[in-house]
Amino acid sequence: MTGLAAEFEKVKTEVLIEYVVSEAELQRALDIFHKFSFHSVAIRVFRNYYAALPDAREEMACDLRVVAKSQDTYLFALKTTDNQYLYIGTDTDVLYIGPYEQGISNLEILSFFGFKDATDFKDRMPSTFEQLQPLQDKKNEAVCVACGTAEGELHILGCPVEQCPWCDGQLSRCNCRFDHLGVDQIDDVTLLERFEELLEQKGRIAFKKDQSPSFPTAGDDPGPMMPK
| Domain C-terminal end among 89, 109, 137 | 137
Residue 97, SS3?
strand
- Pair (104, 196) in one structural domain: no
Q: How many domains does the chain have?
A: 2
How far is residue 188's CA from residue 104's CA, in Å, rounded to a whole number?
33
Give pLDDT, residue 98. Answer: 95
Question: E strands within 13-72?
Answer: 61-70
| Domain C-terminal end among 78, 113, 137 | 137
- Pair (126, 195) in one structural domain: no
Neighbours of 63 (CB within 10 A): 17
Range of the domain at 217: 142-228
- Pair (13, 107) in one structural domain: yes
Give pLDDT, residue 2. Answer: 53
Give pLDDT, residue 138. Answer: 61
> pLDDT tens, position by position, for the chain (228 residues)?
555 677 888 899 999 999 999 999 999 999 999 999 889 899 999 999 999 999 888 899 999 999 998 878 999 999 999 999 999 999 889 999 999 999 999 999 999 998 999 999 999 988 888 888 888 776 656 777 777 677 777 888 888 889 999 999 888 889 998 999 999 988 888 888 888 889 989 998 988 877 765 444 444 444 445 433
CA 209 to chain CA mean position, Å: 17
- Pair (116, 177) in one structural domain: no
- Pair (132, 146) in one structural domain: no
CB 227 within 8 A of CB 187: yes
Q: How many angstroms separate the Cα of 128 from the Cα of each of 59, 86, 106, 173?
A: 19, 14, 23, 43
| Domain C-terminal end among 112, 137, 162 | 137
- Pair (170, 207) in one structural domain: yes
- Pair (124, 11) in one structural domain: yes
- Pair (81, 160) in one structural domain: no
- Pair (30, 86) in one structural domain: yes
- Pair (43, 111) in one structural domain: yes
- Pair (124, 165) in one structural domain: no
Give pLDDT, residue 221. Answer: 45
- Pair (148, 125) in one structural domain: no
